[in-house]
Amino acid sequence: MKIVFTGPECSGKTTLANMIADKYQFGLVKETARVYLEDKSNRYDYHSLSEIANLQLREEKVINRTNTHLVCDTDLLTLIIWSQEKFDKTDPWIYDKWLKHLPGNYFLCAPDIPWEYDPQRENPSDRGRLFEVYQIMMDKHGINYTVVSGSKDDRMALVSGVLNTSIEDM
Q: Structure pTM?
A: 0.94
Q: N- to C-terminal Cα distance for the chain?
A: 9
Q: Which amino acid is at 101?
A: H
Question: From CA 170, how far away is CA 122, in angstroms rounded?
Answer: 39
Domains, in order of start, for the chain: 2-168 (3.40.50.300)
Strands (DSSP E) contained in the chain are: 2-6, 27-29, 70-73, 105-109, 145-148
Backbone region of residue 19 per phi and psi (left: phi > 0; alpha: psi in -120 to 50; beta: other values)? alpha
pLDDT by residue for the chain (170 residues), tens only, comes to 999 999 999 999 999 999 999 999 999 999 999 989 988 888 899 999 999 999 999 999 999 999 999 999 999 999 999 999 999 999 999 999 999 999 999 999 999 998 887 778 877 789 999 999 999 999 999 999 999 999 999 999 999 999 998 876 65
